[in-house]
Structure 1
Amino acid sequence: MDNRSRSVLVLTNSSDVTADVVLRVLAERRVPVVRLDPGTDLHAGASLTAVYGTGARRGILRTSSRELDLTAVRSVWVRRPSPFEGPPDLAGQDRRFAASQAFWGAGGILASLPGAHYVNHPWLNRAAEYKPAQLATAQRCGFRVPDTLITDDDHEARSFAADHVAGMVYKPLWNTPYSVDGQARAVWVHEVRGQDITEAVTACPHLFQARVPKAFDTRVTAVGNRLFGTRIDSPDLDWRYRQDRMRCSPIDVPAPVAEAITRYLAAFQLVFGAFDFAVTTDGTWSFLECNPNGQWAWQPAGTTHRIAHTIADQLERGHHE
């Protein structure tokens, strides 16, 4: 089939403005695109069917406006789809059952499209989201990694603090939704002292890390073999806390860091990755984390423009012939 006639499938929620940036580029190139939020659209008129058998395979996604042959999808961009929560008219165990079946059924179909190029594949995204796996892989790939402790033992945590008199920070292992009095709250990276640590640590694993005496932060957005570096100057330990106070500017990525990024992406089989580093006054880049599906449209306009076009290149091209 002529690759130019094959659709790109974008899996994301209706409020995803970052996806909109790339969709405009694809529209300008006249690349056919189908946008789907499976967690909600499959309860609002869309349907998904797959047939498997010896010598036969077909799949159809039907929406209110079109039908998509799932065997002819050139690329799938897994952006920010809503979670599978089940039909809103169900409750209790019935809704939980339906949500689970949707996750394993619809989610499984959409992750198994023959010949499609995934950016990134959802199962690879999930594997790359575990902080312990990130840190272990970063070490193997040659990044400088700050001393890090993950523990549910308060004695170990206090001992780690005593060994790092220059300071340590706490960061959550996952951005779990959290609210106080019905108001959503974010858990930011913050500094912790030994005397702050209590037996509450035993409730779950905590991540403590030696504080890097950084001069500034950097975000490196990797798309295939293209790297886009942004320097972030912020008055806060966690620059995400008050983004209106940070200043961003393009920055070159040192060759050793670029080579380690290439090895890291290969280790997790990722096409895209958003890498965060702390950079000291002597120019040392310390790896903090890699979000395999991180946001990027907040960066300087020129950088955002280049990232959008590079992602569009990946989606338009599909698998290399």
Structure 2
Amino acid sequence: MILILSSKTDKGVNLVLPKLVERGLDVYWWDPGDYPASTRITSRLVGADWRHTLVTDDAEIDCSSISAVWLRRPQRPKAAKVVEDAGYGEFVAQLGRILRDGWMETLDARWFPARLNTVLHAENKLVNLAAGARHGFLVPQTTVTNDDERLVDVWAETGGRCIAKEIQLVPYELDGQEHGFYTTTLTRRHLTTRHRLAYAPVILQSRIDKAVELRITVVGDQVFTAEMHSQGSRMTRDDFRHYEGNFISYAVHDLPEDVARRCVELVRSLGLAFGCIDVILTPEGEYVYLELNPNGQWGWLEEFTDLRISEAVADWLVGEVSA
């Protein structure tokens, strides 16, 4: 069996699932966010091994039958709605997260892209920025801080050419609306409000000129590269995610062999079988590494290019599994 762990609204799963079903494979899609509210997990220690049973609304699964797990984008465990007290609800959810983590670490299967702790380690920007540099990539001058005076130093060091970005995409709610922090080019005006930097850490980097932005998706030893032509719009110039409508055009990019090799080696060095790498191709033809996301989005690239990423993901999950 192949077990997919993700929110039921995940469009990426919907691209891969039909390809698995077409091959006659036994596949189950479950969101750990349903635990412990509407799902039961029982774990028995037999000798030195755990035997897990997963019971949902429509299935009872002996977890020893699971050959591969796709850890995609699951929601966090939560208490059942009948638990009305907020404090007790958080207590229940925290216990659920602890058990979920232990269940994931002791479920014997091939994990894509990796087990949870490995994914969390790899997605940390401090970890993967240093890893990118170790693998020979050019990396922007980078400072991570919540010291407001360091902003003045970085501004001077970069000649006023610097950007600010989140250490991780963390949406927040304000006035009932979900917001996020996009990469921002800093101006002198930001120096006058730099005291706000003390509230939360931020990544400060030298601003790199872009010819195009690249989203490089690594699946095992396969590399898929898409160009994102983001510089024609003020909306997307600093951050390609900040778009409305068709402000970006896409194309398949022929990545140099040595750069592709380093991408595969980088992903593998972090213990991953998959990773989305964001790179700037400068007007001078240099490839500048920005970050790696061990569970980045790629589905929209198939809509605009002929990259067959979903097929590669399905191939990896099938592995040695037979119908």
Asked whether the two chains share a fold, i.e. TM above 0.5, the reply is yes
Q: Deviations over 1:140-173 (max 9, x none)?
A: 1111101011112222211111121261111011
Contact 2:250/2:304 (<8 A) preserved = no
Q: How does 1:92-241 map to 2 (within 5 A)?
A: 92-165=86-159, 167-197=161-191, 198-234=194-230, 235=233, 236=236, 237-241=238-242
Q: CA RMSD in A?
A: 1.8
Give the C-alpha shift of residue 193 in structure 1. Answer: 2.4
Q: Which residue of 2 aligns with 1:27?
A: 21
Q: Which moved more, 1:112-121 or 1:132-141?
A: 112-121
Q: Which residue of 1 aligns with 2:44?
A: 51
Q: Distance in 2 between matches of 1:149 and 1:56?
A: 44
Provide closer, same or farther for how the CA distance between residues 318 and 89 of structure 1 changes in structure 2, counting only shifts above 3 A.
farther
Contact 2:68/2:317 (<8 A) preserved = yes
Determine whether 1:76 maps to 2:96: no
Letter paired with 2:165: K
Q: Which residue of 1 aligns with 2:78?
A: 85
Letter paired with 2:263: I
Q: Distance in 2 between matches of 1:106 and 1:204?
A: 29
Q: Which residue of 2 aligns with 1:262?
A: 264
Give the C-alpha shift of residue 75 in structure 1. Answer: 0.4
Provide closer, same or farther for how the CA distance between residues 302 and 239 of structure 1 changes in structure 2, counting only shifts above 3 A.
closer
Letter paired with 1:238: D
TM superposition score normalised by structure 2: 0.91
Give the C-alpha shift of residue 217 in structure 1. Answer: 0.3
Q: Distance in 2 between matches of 1:248 and 1:302?
A: 6
Give the C-alpha shift of residue 89 in structure 1. Answer: 2.1
Give the C-alpha shift of residue 84 in structure 1. Answer: 1.6
Give the C-alpha shift of residue 252 in structure 1. Answer: 1.2
Contact 1:78/1:118 (<8 A) preserved = yes
Q: Distance in 1 between matches of 2:217 and 2:313?
A: 11
Q: How does 1:1-40 map to 2 (within 5 A)?
A: 7-40=1-34
TM superposition score normalised by structure 1: 0.92
Letter paired with 2:243: R
Q: How does 1:242-281 map to 2 (within 5 A)?
A: 242=243, 244-281=246-283
Q: Which residue of 1 aligns with 2:292?
A: 290
Alignment gaps of 5+ in structure 2: none
Contact 2:113/2:295 (<8 A) preserved = no
SS in 2 for 1:135: helix
Contact 1:8/1:32 (<8 A) preserved = yes
Letter paired with 2:54: L
SS in 2 for 1:128: helix
Q: Deviations over 1:147-206 (max 9, x none)?
A: 011112222211111121261111011222223322111211110024413211122222
Alignment gaps of 5+ in structure 1: 1-6
Q: Distance in 1 between matches of 2:294 and 2:50?
A: 31
Q: Distance in 2 between matches of 1:196 and 1:160?
A: 12
Sequence identity of aligned pairs in percent?
28
Contact 1:162/1:194 (<8 A) preserved = no
Q: Which runs of 4+ in 1 moved over 3 A?
A: 115-118, 300-305
SS in 2 for 1:109: helix
Q: Deviations over 1:8-55 (max 9, x none)?
A: 0000111111101100100111111011111125423x3211111326
Give the C-alpha shift of residue 255 in structure 1. Answer: 2.1
Q: Distance in 1 between matches of 2:198 and 2:168?
A: 17
Provide closer, same or farther for how the CA distance between residues 34 and 111 of structure 1 changes in structure 2, counting only shifts above 3 A.
farther
Q: Distance in 1 between matches of 2:118 and 2:276?
A: 14
SS in 2 for 1:239: coil
Q: Distance in 1 between matches of 2:251 and 2:218?
A: 17
Q: Distance in 2 between matches of 1:206 and 1:92?
A: 31
